[in-house]
Amino acid sequence: MIGAIADGVTTINNFLNSEDCLATISCFREMGIEIKIAGDQVKILGKGLRGLSKPPKPLYVGNSGTTIRLISGILAGQKFESEISGDDSIQKRPMKRIVWPLRDMGVDISGGKKNGEIFPPLRIRGGSIKPISCKLPMASAQVKSCVLFAGLYAEGKTSVSEPSKSRDHTERILEYFGVPIEINGNIVALKGPASLKGREIEVPGDISSAAYFMAAGSILPNSEVIIRNVGVNPTRTGIIEVLHRMGANVEVLDEELICGEPRANIKVLSSSHKLKAIEIGGELIPRLIDEIPIIAVLATQAEGKTVIKNARELRVKESDRIKTISSELKKMGAKIEEKDDGMVIYGPTELKGAAVQSYGDHRIAMSMAIAGLAAESKTTIENTECIETSFPGFEKKIGLM
């Protein structure tokens, strides 16, 4: 996204050829940006902040909530009208959280309405953007990024305040592309209109994807796992903190900073003792929101009562992840109480193989795969095609193919 609105060529190395990323590329190609893919390298011939052209048809993001929310901030600054939507899951994702700040910035944006919420498809008529000081009711990197992207086009200072700090990849990469960023606690600000210069980027491995191997190494006997070049941005390392608190044998090795993002090798050894139950909530939740389904699997193998709270955001992901992970782990014998904003899990439990569902949610599918590795007898997971949205080749890497 940033390469498309930067001046000059941006080269991305270690690109993930997942459905979500490819859907993003397709959207920018529709807006006249030349993008070349060769293996895991991508070259974007950026046309600058105002270089996008009106797409000939509605933009389609597939299953990517990140794409639809972030790209809306960029579309807000364009002189043309656009429409953007996605698959059935995307059309059920709440968009009011980005609509109201964009409207405050002077953007004509609308979508389908139901029970006071707004859903895709979104129709956006951009143009003259006003800077705002935006106070978010929740910590959300997607909403923050959307507002900051729109702020690139505004005359003056745009700031976003969150109740707690969410993942900060957007701030880091904008600064790497030459945009001065102000950070004061949980407030992030920039001044527009901005000028971005194309750069070369080395993308670290995604810690959310690495989490499944970290979990497997922690609960399967006689395991030793080394995961190389994993992003260890401090706004994303909640999973490592949780594993340490549970007593898992996890080491972060050889940390270095490249392209503004810290990365390291992660070593996991299975432990001779059981993991211990802990309580997870508060400001830790935004740092591991995508990892909660696999943490629930870990909790089934921990001694005591694990409490996960303040995570109601899970109910509006690709599936209602509180409901789906609870229901599927119960099929395998787990003892879980579903709560409005989380769950309570009692362990340790000897999981039994079962026929389970993914609900078209990649993180549920991968979490149940790890649960299946830890279970006695055969586990069958329905509809695992959804894994392609974020982790093509997962089944082979985990040893299931």
Instruction: Return d(Cα 328, Cα 185) in angstroms, integer.
Output: 39
Specify whether the CB–CB gap between 378 and 386 falls below 8 A.
Answer: no
Instruction: Return d(Cα 24, Cα 321) in angstroms, integer.
Output: 24
Omega within 30 of 0 (cis) for the link into 348: yes
Instruction: Return d(Cα 214, Cα 151) in angstroms, integer.
Output: 38
Considering the entire predicted model, what is its pTM? 0.92
Instruction: Return d(Cα 152, Cα 329) in angstroms, integer.
Output: 44
pLDDT of residue 286: 94
- Letter for the amino acid at 292? I
Instruction: Return d(Cα 166, Cα 152) in angstroms, integer.
Output: 20
Q: Which of 290, 320, 341, 361 is catalytic?
A: 290
Q: What letter would DSSP give residue 155?
A: S
pLDDT of residue 401: 53
> 326-346: buried (b, 16+ CB within 10 Å) or exposed (e) per residue?
bbbbebbebebeeeeebbbbb
Instruction: Return d(Cα 118, Cα 114) in angstroms, integer.
Output: 7
Domains (ranges, CATH) in the chain? 7-202 (3.65.10.10), 207-397 (3.65.10.10)
Chain segment 224-264, per-residue pLDDT in tens: 999 999 999 999 999 999 999 999 999 999 999 999 999 99
Show Cβ contacts of residue 132 under 8 Å, excluding neighbours closer than 6 positions. Answer: 101, 104, 105, 147, 151, 154, 158, 159
Dihedral angle, C-alpha 75, 76, 82, 87, nearest 10 ° = 70
Enumerate the β-bridge partners of residue 230.
205, 264
Catalytic (active site) residue 104: no
End-to-end Cα separation, the chain, in angstroms: 34
pLDDT of residue 120: 97
Instruction: Return d(Cα 362, Cα 212) in angstroms, integer.
Output: 12
pLDDT of residue 273: 86
Enumerate the β-bridge partners of residue 191.
157
Specify whether the CB–CB gap between 66 and 89 falls below 8 A.
Answer: no
**Tens digit of each residue's pLDDT, the chain (401 residues):** 999 999 999 999 999 999 999 999 999 999 999 999 999 999 999 999 999 999 999 999 999 999 999 999 999 999 999 999 999 999 999 999 999 999 999 999 999 999 999 999 999 998 789 999 999 999 999 999 999 999 999 999 999 999 999 999 999 999 999 999 999 999 999 999 999 999 999 999 999 999 999 999 999 999 999 999 999 999 999 999 999 999 999 999 999 999 999 999 999 999 878 999 999 999 999 999 999 999 999 999 999 999 999 999 999 999 999 999 999 999 999 999 999 999 999 999 999 999 999 999 999 999 999 999 999 999 999 999 999 999 999 999 988 75
